[in-house]
Amino acid sequence: MPSSPQPAPETWIAAFNRAADRVRDRLDAVTSTPDRLRETGTTGEGGDRTLVIDAEAEDLVFAELHALHDEGARFTVLSEERGVVDLGSPDVLVVVDPIDGSMNAKRGMPHHAVSIAVAEGPGVAHSGTMADVVCGLVADLGPGERWTAIRGVGAWLDGVPIVAPAAERLTEGGKLELVAIESAHPAHVMASGEALLEHVHRLRAIGAIAISLCAVAGGRVDGMASLWRCRAFDAAAGQLIVRESGGLVAFGDLDAPLSAPLDLIGHGPVVAARSAEGLARVATLPHD
C-alpha cells in the first residue's frame, strides 16, 4: 500500500486557520453571556468542565481535520475535550485546544484562542514531546490576531515574519518590566509572591497560556510563567511560536526544557522569556 501523502506545514496551517474562522463565526453568533456560560454537564479529557462553546468549537476543528483525513492525511489527534482520537497514524500528532482561555470566552473577555499544533516522528502519538512540534497556529479571537510558526523556518504574526521583537526590558532596579502570569489562582500567586517581588516590575494575567506565550514571541512582555502545571494542548503551538521568534521556553526543567510529554496530563509549568537570564528568572515564579 502506498504511504499516505502527509500535509506540508503550510497545508496544516491553512486548515487550522479555516477551523479558527469557523470557531470565530460560531462565537460571534453566541453573544449573550448566559448562552456562553452553558455547560455540557460533562468534563473534558483535559479535566475542566466542558462548556457548550468548547464542545462546539472542538466539533468545528474536527470538521477541518476530517476533511484532511478524507484527502489522505493520516494522524492522531490529542484534543482537550475528546482526548485521543486515532485517524490512522501514530507518527503524526495534532494537538488541539479548541478554546484556550475558555473562562474569558464565556465571560465575554477579549483574549481567547484556537490553539493547534502538529508534532511528527515515529510513535509521536505515544511518546512525543514539545521538541517534536513542527508547526502551529494560535488564533487570538479577541484582537483577531493569527500567530503561526514552522520549525526551523520562522514565526509570523498575521503573515508578517517576527524577525526582531522588542528586546527584553529591565527597570532601573533590574526587574523584568512586564511579565504575564497564567494559572493565576490566588493561592498560586501568593505562593509565588517572593519571587514575583524579586524579579517582576508589573504583572499581566491574560487568562490563556497560548496567548501569553505569543506575547513573549512578539516582545510584548519580557516573560511569562504558568504558576501551576501546564497541559500539552495549552502550550504546544505557542511554545514553538516563542522559539521560532528567537525566545526561550521551558517546561519545569531548565536542563531538559522541551521534554514535556504530549499527553492530557498536567506536567511542569511552562515558562518563556526573551533571554536565558530572563528564563532563569521566570522559572523561579511557579510553585508546583
From 96-104, 123-131, 133-141, 222-230, span contacting Mg ion (CB under 5 A): 96-104
Taking the C-alpha atoms of residue 274 and residue 156, their distance in angstroms, rounded to an integer, is 16
120 part of the interface to Mg ion, by CB under 5 A: no
Total residues interacting with Mg ion, rule: CB under 5 A: 4
**Contact of 110 with 104, CB cutoff 8 Å:** yes
From 17-25, 80-88, 137-145, 147-155, span contacting Mg ion (CB under 5 A): 80-88
Partners of residue 189 on adjacent β-strands: none
Binder to Mg ion among 56, 58, 91, 97 (CB under 5 A)? 97
91 part of the interface to Mg ion, by CB under 5 A: no
Measured from the CB atom, is 23 or 99 closer to Mg ion?
99
Provide, rounded to whole angstroms, the least separation between the CB of residue 213 and Mg ion: 14
Measured from the CB atom, is 46 or 247 closer to Mg ion?
46
Taking the C-alpha atoms of residue 2 and residue 229, their distance in angstroms, rounded to an integer, is 42
From 97-105, 143-151, 170-178, 254-262, span contacting Mg ion (CB under 5 A): 97-105
From 82-90, 100-108, 165-173, 174-182, span contacting Mg ion (CB under 5 A): 100-108
Max Cα-Cα span within the chain = 65
Measured from the CB atom, is 52 or 191 closer to Mg ion?
52
80 part of the interface to Mg ion, by CB under 5 A: yes
Residues that bind Mg ion (CB under 5 A): 80, 97, 99, 102
